[in-house]
């Protein structure tokens, strides 16, 4: 195969392991597989793109387990990557959401073939939103557009050249705005979609598309489908951690970061060197997955010493600018807070000591999305 024509990348063992762990949060096989493909695709292609063509490229949209595909902002254009395990390269099939939901529309659509057995992926062709709308065939049975391979450009070098020579190339066309969904109706729909195999096919596309466009609803559905209800947070008992009884969802740091990664950032030394218990939990935002890391140790006076850090799940990435980490008291007061700046690869709170029985929460926020973890010492 001509390596100039079709881009091939290796999937690292760390990315493969992390994506598989993430996928196991979902109870349904299709959801697990979709989440796995999306994460492997994004975490393999984005670092390569940043290193080779545009260091400021960022992940902009991922549908987790809901829809195959993920999006990257690249030189003021949006690349939509559609990962498939199938070895059929006769056509590109793109879920309707990436074509007809206005805020999800991309400029270029890349066909990505993933081979988990060989830990590799291949980008075998690309096209534009305008071409899919003009030449693609819509299939109502699975709400997808298909485009015959003959209409795809299979030399990926052409894409980079076209962006340089024809920066004003028409890549996308207008799509119809979707009607809004009332908040009460949206909540009812989210509860209904939380337990079905294919939520994207369960309700009319206009309603489904409207739910996806509202970020808070999209993220709430994601949490519900993992069995987590954001409105009924249960406090994690940290004393039990000190007795080696751990809460579901929290893993040993070593399960996520290998020794090389642990040594990568000198700002991690406080987390790494603190004796006691160290646990990590992945938190997913639209932009990327971040790791919430806690390290705690008992004090002689009965209190618990706690350090908290936030870092990207993928070492090559930085935290999204503006992402905040806050310590909130039981009464709702913000005790301390820190915010990620441009190019920050970790942020952390100052160490604090927690008396027995004290309740607090950690809030991780990005824009309107807020994830909260409650604790009791």
Residue 31: which CATH number?
3.40.1350
Would residue 160 count as lying in a domain? yes
264 and 169 assigned to the same domain: no
255 and 134 assigned to the same domain: no
Sheet holding 58-62, edge to edge: 7-10, 120-128, 108-115, 77-84, 70-74, 58-62
**Would you say residue 345 has pLDDT above 60?**
yes
78 and 161 assigned to the same domain: yes
163 and 46 assigned to the same domain: yes
CA-nearest of 311, 260, 272 to 14 is 260
125 and 190 assigned to the same domain: no
Structural element, H or E, at residue 283? strand 277-284
CA distances from 35 to 40, 86, 132, 319, 356 (A): 9, 16, 24, 21, 39
Range of the domain at 188: 182-228
pLDDT, position 2: 42
Polymer length of the chain:
377
119 and 160 assigned to the same domain: yes
pLDDT, position 152: 95
Would residue 172 count as lying in a domain? yes
Paired strand residues for 278: 295
pLDDT, position 334: 81
Last residue of a domain, one of 207, 228, 249: 228
Joined together, the tokens standing for residue 83 give 């990962």
Minimum mean pLDDT among 25-29, 181-185, 254-258: which range? 254-258
| Cα dihedral 69/72/75/79 (nearest 10) | -10
Count the domains in the chain: 3
80 and 212 assigned to the same domain: no
**Would you say residue 4 has pLDDT above 60?**
no
310 and 361 assigned to the same domain: yes
321 and 280 assigned to the same domain: yes
Joined together, the tokens standing for residue 322 give 């503006």
What Rg, from alpha-carbon coordinates, does the chain have?
22
Would residue 320 count as lying in a domain? yes
**Would you say residue 227 has pLDDT above 80?**
no
246 and 281 assigned to the same domain: yes
**Would you say residue 63 has pLDDT above 90?**
no
Structural element, H or E, at residue 131? helix 129-135
pLDDT, position 287: 65
| Cα dihedral 21/25/27/32 (nearest 10) | -50
Last residue of a domain, one of 190, 211, 228: 228
Most confident of 52-61, 219-228, 244-253, 354-363: 354-363
Would residue 188 count as lying in a domain? yes
Would residue 2 count as lying in a domain? no
Q: How many CB atoms lie within 10 A of CB 109?
A: 28
Last residue of a domain, one of 161, 177, 193: 177
73 and 130 assigned to the same domain: yes
Buried b (16+ CB within 10 A) or exposed e, 214-227: bbebbbbbbbbbbe
- Cβ within 8 Å of residue 290, ≥6 positions away: 282, 283, 310, 311, 312, 313, 319, 323, 364
Would residue 1 count as lying in a domain? no
Would the pTM count as exceeding 0.85?
no
pLDDT, position 102: 96
Over residues 269-299, the pLDDT tens digits come to: 444 444 578 999 988 876 688 999 999 998 8
304 and 203 assigned to the same domain: no
């Amino acid at each position: 195969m001509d390596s100039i024509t079709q881009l091939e990348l290796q999937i690292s063992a760390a990315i493969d392991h992390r994506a598989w762990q993430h996928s196991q949060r979902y109870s349904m096989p299709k959801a697990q597989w979709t989440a796995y493909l999306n994460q492997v695709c994004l975490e393999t292609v984005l670092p390569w793109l940043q290193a080779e063509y545009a260091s400021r490229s960022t992940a902009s949209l991922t549908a987790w387990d809901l829809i195959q595909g993920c999006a990257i902002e690249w030189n003021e254009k949006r690349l939509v990557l559609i990962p498939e395990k199938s070895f059929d390269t006769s056509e590109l099939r793109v879920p309707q959401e990436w074509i007809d939901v206005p805020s999800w529309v991309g400029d270029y659509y890349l066909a990505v073939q993933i081979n988990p057995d060989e830990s590799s992926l291949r980008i075998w062709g690309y096209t534009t939103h305008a071409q899919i709308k003009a030449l693609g065939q819509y299939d109502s049975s699975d709400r997808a557009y298909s485009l015959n391979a003959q209409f795809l450009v299979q030399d990926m070098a052409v894409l980079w050249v076209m962006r340089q020579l024809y920066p004003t190339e028409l890549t996308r066309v207008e799509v119809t705005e979707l009607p809004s969904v009332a908040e009460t109706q949206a909540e009812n729909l989210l509860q209904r979609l939380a337990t079905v195999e294919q939520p994207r096919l369960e309700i009319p596309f206009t309603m489904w598309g409207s739910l996806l466009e509202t970020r808070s609803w999209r993220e709430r559905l994601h949490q519900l489908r993992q069995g987590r209800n954001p409105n009924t947070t249960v406090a994690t008992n940290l004393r039990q951690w000190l007795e080696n009884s751990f809460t579901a969802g929290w893993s040993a740091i070593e399960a996520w970061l290998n020794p090389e990664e642990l040594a990568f950032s000198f700002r991690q030394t406080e987390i790494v060197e603190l004796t006691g218990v160290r646990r990590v939990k992945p938190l997913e935002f639209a932009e990327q997955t971040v790791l919430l890391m806690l390290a705690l140790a008992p004090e002689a006076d009965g209190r618990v010493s706690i350090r908290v850090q936030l870092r990207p799940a993928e070492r090559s990435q930085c935290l999204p600018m503006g992402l905040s980490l806050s310590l909130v008291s039981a009464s709702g007061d913000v005790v301390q807070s820190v915010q990620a700046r441009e190019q920050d690869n970790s942020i952390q709170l100052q160490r604090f000591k927690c008396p027995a029985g004290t309740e607090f929460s950690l809030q991780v926020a990005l824009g309107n999305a807020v994830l909260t973890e409650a604790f009791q010492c």
